[in-house]
Structure 1
Amino acid sequence: MFNRISSLISKRTSMIVLRRTLCAFALAFATLGTAQAGITINGTRVVYPADQREVSLSMVNDGKETRLVQAWIDSGDATERPDTSKAPFLITPPMARVDPGKGQTLRIMFTGADLPQDRETVFWLNILEIPPKPKAGSDAAENYMQLAVRSRMKLFYRPKGLKGSPDAAADQLSWHVTQEGKGYQAECTNNTPFNISFSDLTFKGSPQLQAVSKGGMCPAMGKATLPVAGEPDASNKLVITVINDYGGFNEHEVSFSR
């Protein structure tokens, strides 16, 4: 009899623990949903022409709650914070409150640095979005996770007088494909002064389409190795989707060697 009661107590305790665990997961996911980005940034990259005093980037709060936004630029190290950044840029305002349905414009100014004048230099714009805390007295105020959403986009510093154009530069890359395990990778060589970004690369005729991990870019006057989706055919051609200055997608067919 005692063993039976102990067994029932044990089962009841397990059910209570299970329910509490499920409730904790449900609360976590519910909170996660409320912490999703409410700020919409009007652009996916920033181009800074060297002959301009400043450039601007606008955003709007499409959410239902006020958001605190902090912005800074890093030099390529994602761990750089506003107080440790080495990028030669100033952003105003560096921090702003954006109410629901309202917008905010960031002004970006180059502070001066000895950058290469024969090619673009890449920096990264960071926008950190901090949601408000739950109201005092609500159920969420006692058990919640506050998650900040960080967006990071490329900023291209473009010197004056560069020969050619970013759109034409995509067709001037050279490609060499090799097999890597069960897949393929392509090495691009870029002899142009423009950084070329891709959303995806695939072999011509292949039904597969695979996004490049973390975004792909062939640096100005440099090389990069990128994964390619699908299987090569006799045409020895790649279909590359290039991201232009305005965030649009331009498809190109290019030849490659093996």
Structure 2
Amino acid sequence: MNTGNFVRIYLFLMLMMTSGVSFASIQVGGTRVIFPASDHEASLQVRNEGTDDIMIQSWIEAGPEQAERDIPFAITPSLARLSHRKQQTLRIFYQGKGLPEDRESVVWVSVQEIPQVSELDNTLQVAFRQRLKLFYRPNGLPGTADEAASALKWNILKTAGKTILLATNDSAFHVSFAKVAIVAGDKEYAVEPTMVGPRDAQRMVIKGIPATAGGEAAIAWESINDYGALIEHKASIKF
């Protein structure tokens, strides 16, 4: 660690020990939001578990390969006051056009806590933000999101002396991961997982695997379903 970073960390820790510090109070109901096209709106519950009143600010951000101006969603209320142990329902609306109808689309929902102005001196206040994926799901898509996670196609690529894992998703749904690993011989190698979009493929780095690895292996992955639960999968793979 260089001297500049050490000094900044030291000063920050000293400030925390000598000052009051505001920590995150909001609890968001869920890890993701699913918005079926058959529904008129989606909702998200936010609860204040802290001891003080807070303000929350909410907004929607562009997903991968989207421009901010192309977001066809609105969220209300965008700004709200939350008392201790109270909750607020955030309502999300889709304008009815602007997204593909043959596959899922994803954007981000951000909820930020804005602490009230402290009456104490030397108080460090931090605005905490939580970010969730919002999946817009058109009507009539073939298959299900759970089937998409099970039906992924996996391949090993060796390029420029590196071993890469390729995940191909032929479905109309996104597949998100909590964990991906390669088991070769008696060793397990962690993979840096990346969400795979509909009818898309993603390359993932396999950590620490030797360039000489080959033969039969197994791949194990945990997908995240609509409710945030982890689903385990396993398949054989060849180098």
TM-score tier after normalising by the smaller chain length: 0.7 to 0.9
Q: Secondary structure at the match of 1:100?
A: coil
- The residue that corresponds to 1:43 in the other structure is 30
CA distance in structure 1 between the partners assigned to 2:29 and 2:111 by the alignment: 12
Aligned to 1:173: 152
Per-residue CA deviation, residues 127-166 of structure 1 (Å, 9 max, x unaligned), is: 111122221xx3xx2x333221111111111000001011
Flag the 1:116–1:34 CA change in 2: closer, same or farther, 3 A.
same
Q: Which runs of 5+ in 1 are unaligned?
A: 1-20
Q: Distance in 2 between matches of 1:176 and 1:121?
A: 25
Select the residue among 4, 10, 13 that pairs with 1:25.
13
Q: Which residue among 219, 222, 226 is the counterpart of 2:204? A: 226
Which residue in 2 is equivalent to 1:131?
115
Computing the radius of gyration over CA atoms, which structure comes out larger, 1 or 2? 1
Query: Contact 2:169–2:196 at 8 Å: present in 1 too?
Result: yes
Q: Name the residue aligned to 2:168.
A: 189
Higher normalized helix content (fraction of residues): 1
User: Any gaps of 5 or more consecutive residues in structure 2?
Assistant: 1-8
The aligned residue for residue 55 of structure 2 is 68
CA distance in 1, matches of 2:221, 2:40: 34
Q: How many pairs does the alignment contain?
A: 226
C-alpha distance in 1, partners of 2:191/2:14? Answer: 31
In structure 2, the CA distance between the partners of 1:187 and 1:133, relative to structure 1 (3 Å rule), is: same
Letter in 1 for 2:237: F
**CA separation of 1:211 and 1:176: change in aligned 2, threshold 3 A:** closer
* TM norm structure 1: 0.76
> Equivalent pairs: percent with the same residue?
34
More strand by share: 2
Please say if 1:55 is aligned against 2:33.
Answer: no
The answer on 1:244 being equivalent to 2:218 is: no
RMSD: 2.9
Structure 2 vs 1, CA of residues 94 and 207 (structure 1 numbering), >3 Å: closer, same or farther? farther
1:69-218 pair list within 5 angstroms: 69-76=56-63, 86-135=70-119, 138=120, 141=121, 143-178=122-157, 184-204=163-183, 210=190, 212=192, 216-218=194-196
Q: Deviation string for 1:2-48 (max 9, x for gaps)?
A: xxxxxxxxxxxxxxxxxxx97863223665x8333211111111111
TM-score of the superposed pair, with normalisation by structure 2: 0.82
Deviation for aligned residue 1:75:
1.6
